[in-house]
Homo-oligomer: A and B are copies of this chain.
Amino acid sequence: MLKKDYCALRPPMGWNSWDCYGAAVNEEQLLGNARYIADNLKQYGWEYVVCDIQWYEPKAVSNTYNNFADLEMDEYSRLIPAVNRFPSSADGKGFAPIAEKIHNMGLKFGIHILRGIPRQAVHRNTKIKNSSRTAREIASQYSLCPWNTDMYGVNYRAEGAQEYYDSLFELYASWGVDFVKVDDIANTEFSPNNPYSAREEIEMIRSAMDSCGREMVLSLSPGPAVVSEAFHLSQNANMWRMTGDFWDQWDKLYDMFRRCEQWADHVKPGCWPDCDMLPLGKISKTEGCHGEKDRYTNFTRNEQKTMMTLWSIFRSPLILGGELRENRKEDSEIITNSDIIGIDQYSSDNRQLRRTAHEAIWTCLDRDSNRVIAMFNTSDREREISINLEAYGFNGNYSGTELWTKEVCENIQGDFKVKVPVHGVKIIRLKKKM
């Protein structure tokens, strides 16, 4: 294992502001959700509180970006929190006060950044810390994010480029940041001929993080990252997205099975292909995004369990997306099932056994080396899903417990058949009988 892997020996768990607040989250919302986690979720493993995109944009009000907006920036071309949204950041304190409060709750603090240097820094030609070069000199002029106008990419060949990234992470370390989600950097499927050198920017960020003096998780977005880049990603990052943005839509959840199949062999401690945030509970509070504004997740109860189960048996990071303070009892149940979370955090030998257009079967060993089988019904009607346990080498006689319902079933061996509801899952822990 590499040194960078030690801060993410298990899949990171936490909360991110995007699904509920888009680009517009503020200090009260951030700390309010942190408080909720500390009080209700920390005991299950949830710990990161991540402030998503454009915390430096004073006028952000929703998921939609204001093109060419004026951004808060320090003298060294570094973006800093908008004081109107994050009052404690005034007087150059940045995110340090918020990070401290979150740390005091026993949690960890994360931020989002876009790769690159602000376009406004380039056009104003501002300074780079610890370099005689300027913003204009390190920008990669044709390297743009295809969905946001804040940044130009950084030209890794330019003198001053590494110094710029170093100065960013020096600042984030001084604030007490534990987790950085870098965006516009992992979507290699989007445009293979893209002139920007994502590979090189990833390496500059890795290097800056390694030398900043503070341990941080590195998360790359958006996907889809390509499987053939798995080695490079695993050398540099702790998690990376396998798909575009995930929302509470069945077609996106259905497609995740294909992605998990492709990435399953690349899941390792410190290296977690990422299924993206869990759009559970109350989301889209500032703008209807892939659904109505201010809605509870469109996923059915069965789909929610399918999602949590797939993320867990695949060992994806688990990052909540909803406004936690509006969670209902049924929302809480989905995210506080210790058995399921335990699969995510402590299982081994995770792999898909079979996948068709209508069903998928996964397996793993749980923390106590019990065989676990998850049968997913991805079709539009109830199905009996069957598996011949011996065909996969699972011989013997078992007693089984379904991990969502805790229902018990005895005398399992050979052909094992389970009725699974539409878009639902049964995940059964098998204990071998002696």
Contacts from A to B (Cβ < 8 Å): 1-3, 67-68, 119-120, 122-125, 136, 139, 141-142, 144, 146, 149, 195, 227-228, 230-231, 235, 261-262, 264-266, 352, 354-355, 391-393
Contact = CB atoms under 8 A, between A and B. Distances in A.
A314 B371 CA distance: 29
B228 A262 contact: yes
Contact of A119 (B1, B123, B146): B123
Contact of A120 (B67, B123, B195, B391): B123
A230 B146 CA distance: 30
Contact of A265 (B68, B122, B266, B393): B266
Smallest CB-CB A-B distances: 6 pairs: A265-B265, A123-B123, A141-B149, A68-B136, A231-B261, A227-B227
Contact of A141 (B68, B122, B142): B68
A270 to B, nearest CB: 11
A120 B123 CA distance: 7
A235 B119 CA distance: 37
Give the interface SS of chain A, mostly helix, strand, loop or mixed: helix
Contacts of A139: 67-68
Nearest to A147: B142
Given A136-B67, A141-B68, A144-B144, A264 B1 contact: no
6 contacts: A67-B139, A68-B136, A227-B228, A231-B262, A231-B355, A265-B266
A79 to B, nearest CB: 15
A249 B3 CA distance: 38
Contacts of A146: 142, 195
Contacts of A266: 265
A124 B355 CA distance: 39
Contacts of A144: 142, 144
Contact of A391 (B2, B261, B262): B2
A230 B266 CA distance: 12
Contacts of A262: 227-228, 230-231
A144 B68 CA distance: 14
Contacts of A125: 68
A6 to B, nearest CB: 10
A102 to B, nearest CB: 31
B3 A391 contact: yes
A159 to B, nearest CB: 14
